[in-house]
Structure formats: C-alpha cells, structure tokens
A and B are shown apart, each in its own frame.
Chain A
Amino acid sequence: MRRSKRIVSLILFLMVGVVFSTLLVFDWSPLGIDKSPRLHESLRGSAASAPVHPASAEVWTQAQVKQLLNLVYLLVIIILGTPYLILLFMTNLLKRMNAVRQGIEHLQVEPTHRVHPVRGELNNIVTTINDLAGNAVFFESFTRYLLDTIYDGVLTVDTAGIVQTANSQFLTIFSTSKPEVINRDAGELFSGGVAEIISDALHHQRFHVDRTVRWKETALRVYSRRIVNNDDRILGLLFVFRDITLMMQYEETLRHQDRLAALGEMAIGVVHELKNPFTSIRGFLQLIQRSVHEDDPQYRYLGLVHDELNRIDSILNEMLDYGGSSKLSLTLHDLRTVIDQLVSQMRELYPNLTVRVNTIGSDFTLQFDSPKMRQVFLNLLTNCIEAGTSAIDIKLSETEREVVAEFKDYGEGIPEDSIEKVFTPFFSTKPEGSGFGMPVCQKIIGSHGGTIRISSVVRQGTQVEVRLPRTSGALEHS
C-alpha cells in the first residue's frame, strides 16, 4: 500500500517534470529562464521581428537547439535527482524508525531502558513511548517494593492457578525462590493445609479468613480472596500467609509462665500456712523427745517422726525456693569457681564418685546471682547422684555471647514420656523427690536470661545443658 503510494507520487513527480520541460521547450516559460535573443526582440516589440516568427517555427536556430539541450539536461537532472532525493529521505526515515523499533525491543527486555531520541517529528512518538514505559516501570517496581515491604507472605495466581506474584516474605516463609514458583501451577507446589486452601479457592470458590495451617515447622495464619476488577471480572486469587510460629511460641511461654507464677504463688501461700503449725509440732516434739529416755522404745518413734518432719521441711523449703522472689542480685563472678567449689564438696561427700571437669575456653566470668546459681548446680549434681551414677562429666565452654555448662551422668536415665515433665512443679521421677528441683533450676536460669535443656536415655544416663548469656546482667541493669 505504502509502496504503491510512493510509486504514484514518483510518477506524479515525473509528469510534473515532463510538463515543465515541454513548457520550456515551447518558450511559454513562466519562469523567465529563457534568455534567448529572440525573446529580447519580441520584448522590444519591433515590427521586423514579425516575419521572423513563422520562419523560426520551421528552422531551428543554433540558439534554440542550445536552449533545448539545456532543457533536456534539466529534465535529466530532475528525472534522476528526484528518485535519489526520495531514496535519501526514505533511507533516513527508515533508519530512524529502525532505531525506535530497536529501542522498543530493548525496552521490552529491560523495563528501565529508554528509547533514544531521534530527529524530527518521529521524536514525539519516542517521547510518548518513554513516558508510558516510565509509568509502567514505576508502577511495576512500586508494586514489587510494596509487596516486599509487607510483612506477610503474598501469593497471587491467575484463574488457572498459575503463580503470578510471590513477594519476598512468601519466598522466605516457604524457603523457595522466584524461579521455583513463578509461572508454576500453585496446586502442585504445596501439600497439606496450604494446598487445601489453594484448592478450596481455585476449584470450590471457598475462601478462608484467618485459617491456621502448618507448613513443616511453621505455623501460618492464611487468608484467601478473589482479585476482581471494576467490572467484577475475576483477575486471579490472592493468598496471604502470616508466620505466627513465634507468636504461638510466645503465647505458649506466657501461658506456661502464668501457670508457673500461679503455682509459685500458691506454693508460697501453702508454705506460709504450713510453716507455723509445723514449727509448733516440731518444737513440741523436741520438748517431748527431751523428756523421753534414749532406752525407751518411744524415743526411736519420736526420732522417726522428727526425721519425717525434716523431710516435710525440706519439701516446704524447695517450694519456697520455687515460689519465692525471682529478684536477682547480680554481680560479676567466675562460673568455674562456683562449679569447682561444688565439685570439691561432692568429692568429699562421695569419695567413690568420679567427677571430671572439662573446660574449653578461659573466660567464664559473667553477671549472675551466685547463691542462686550455686543452688542450680547443686540441684543438678544431686540429681546426677540420685540417678545412681558412678561418674559425672562436667563440661564448661564459652563463646563471646554465652557460657555453657553441661552435666552428664551415667545413671538410670529418665523415660521419654517423663522428660518433658521434669520442669513441671510437683513432678518427680524420684520416689522421695519433691518435684521442685528442676523447676527451681529452670526458674533461676530463666531469670538470668538463659536456657536449660535436658536429654536422657534410659539406663544410659542424663545430660543437662545450661546456657547463660553474657548480656543478661547488662539487660537486668538497664
């Protein structure tokens, strides 16, 4: 179409050229390029020129031939020059158009690229394209940044279930990468509760709000919705995933702490109420004991009562330790000194017991409440001994951030179903245990900002690991 137009205009151009040439040849030039003497004569208007006229029509003068030749030259120039000019113009135009086309192609690959300006009117098109591209890039990148800023994982799929968008939090939650999910079938990417939610939305038009599902170790709160445009046409589906693992852990910890605090308060109340009558009972018992002679069989009974009362007393004291104030008096101590002192006491008390202390590192100084920490390690060592071990291995290690103490015995161990309960007050695996030893340890270590963990294998032994952060003191003081 464009090509034929070009040909038409060329022909037109040539025709105009021919017409002009003819005009010139027959001396009707309106352009006044005719400089022949004959013309000058006619302008002068002499009468003598009149008879010359018919003769000139028949006989070509030399001047006329020359003029004709001039015109022929002109014609040739026009005929040859015009296409050349046209060609030149067209080539130039095509070149610029090609540059614009290449610019657009580049833009498609790289959205931040801009089409280079070109000469002439064509540049208006370039400017418009660049403006449009700028807007598109802005919105695309803004959307991406917006999505990546959202703390929740966001996933969008088209109506066929093909993943269109996945923000960075989504990729983090599901520990995946963009290439692994984009343009993939969302139904095939997931399993379990997440797949169910996607399938519900895709195939059954069932959408969820605040549904809690598990994905591996992560607890997720999910909601799903349709994405619709102004005309209520469905563009795709949106899924939002919120990682609530930590929140649930916090909640669980809080519940646990609340329970423990309530237990602690109750323990204190119970101990207070029991201590007074207990004091009288034991006091009067001692008074009676004094009046009974050692040979009297009742003296032995009274002794047994006394021992049993002492046992009650030690339980009451442990309850008091557990429920008592968690206020710490923190000072800088060497944890190794505390352990060394306890170990030498243990060795003295139990000569047959082997206690090995292995230290890795040199700096075990940190802020802690020395009497309370001593009680923790005493409880742990007592547990080792009561488990019937012949040896205890203590390992002390340190990093820049924490000090770790591990206690290992080779005693009877704790059954798997009991291991979780050792930190629960009143629970004991020992027939005469009060069930407060480990809870007290946990409470004290916890108030230092540390953690205590226990693992055990029946008939092989138990291992307890205490981790104390070096910063706990600083935190307490700030």
Chain B
Amino acid sequence: MSRTILVVDDEANVRLFLRELFQEDGWMVFEAGTAKEGIAEARKQCPSIVLLDLLLPDADGLALINEFKGIDKLTEVIVITAVGTVDNAVQAMKNGAYDFITKPFDIEKIQAVHRRDSILPSSAENL
C-alpha cells in the first residue's frame, strides 16, 4: 500500500518543497496548482492525505474540504494557509479538516503531521 499525498497549492515552490520533504519520507506525491486540478487529481489517485491551501486562484479552500472528503471519505484534508486566523482554523475544522497548519511551516511540524498520519492508511485498512 503506497502512501499518497496530494499537494494543492498555487505556489510552485511551496509544492516543490513539500514534494521533497514527503518523498524523502517515502510518500508518493501528487501536485495541483488549482482547485479544479486538485479535484481531478484526487478522483484519479484517491490520496490518503490532501494538503490544501486555503487561497486558491479558482476557489476558496474552505469550501473544498467537503469535496475531497466526498471523493474518498478516508482522505484526510490538512489545511495549509498563510492566513492563520482563529476564524479560519475553526471554520476549517468544522468543515472536516484533519489539521490546520500555518505558513511558513517548520519541517518538524509537517513531518509530525504526516508521520502521525502515516498510521492512517494502515488503521483505515484495519477497519
């Protein structure tokens, strides 16, 4: 079982950094620069984690959380945002996000999240 992650962020360099980081840990990383691409990619790959930027050129990330959850309910959506306000965080969690990380992120923090999440696919398989 491959651990797959989809990074949805319009910043190519942010995607690149996340790809490097996750690949290092043995994840299969997919990327999308827009919400539309992200949804299409999620349908194709059914990733275990979606790293979702809230500010996308074509959609509000908060509204997308449900869409990703709708494609595969086992997919965990982790919101990454430059606007780390409490309102946003609360709203993201209410919409079903697994976690909320503000930019810029520390490697340790990201790794903590995906390492914790790496248990997810196996635990999901146990269900």
Contact = CB atoms under 8 A, between A and B. Distances in A.
A444 to B, nearest CB: 13
A317 to B, nearest CB: 8
Contact of B17 (A271, A279, A320): A279
B103 interface: yes
Contacts of A347: none
A287 interface: yes
A3 interface: no
Contacts of B104: 275, 278-279, 281-283, 309, 313
B86 interface: yes
Contact of B16 (A280, A281, A325): A280
B107 A286 contact: yes
B14 interface: yes
Mostly, the A contact residues are helix
Contacts of A317: 84
Scoring A272, A275, A287 by chain B CB atoms within 10 A of each residue's CB, the highest score goes to A275
Interface residues of B, number: 20
B105 A280 contact: no
Interface in A307-326: 309, 313, 317, 320, 324-325
A192 B46 CA distance: 81
A456 B84 CA distance: 34
Contacts of B17: 279-280, 283-284, 287
Contacts of B11: 276-277, 279-280
Nearest to A312: B104
Given A279-B105, A371-B86, A272 B14 contact: no
A293 interface: no
B21 to A, nearest CB: 7
Contact of B107 (A290, A320, A325): A290
B58 interface: no
B101 to A, nearest CB: 10
Contacts of A280: 11, 13-14, 16-17
Contact of A287 (B14, B20, B55, B105): B20
A276 B103 contact: yes
Most B-side CB within 10 Å, residue of A271, A280, A284, A309: A280
A286 B106 CA distance: 8
B105 A283 contact: yes
Interface of A: 268, 271-272, 275-284, 286-287, 290, 309, 313, 317, 320, 324-325, 327, 371
16 contacts: A272-B82, A272-B83, A279-B11, A279-B17, A279-B104, A280-B11, A283-B17, A283-B104, A287-B17, A287-B20, A287-B107, A313-B104, A320-B83, A320-B84, A324-B85, A371-B86
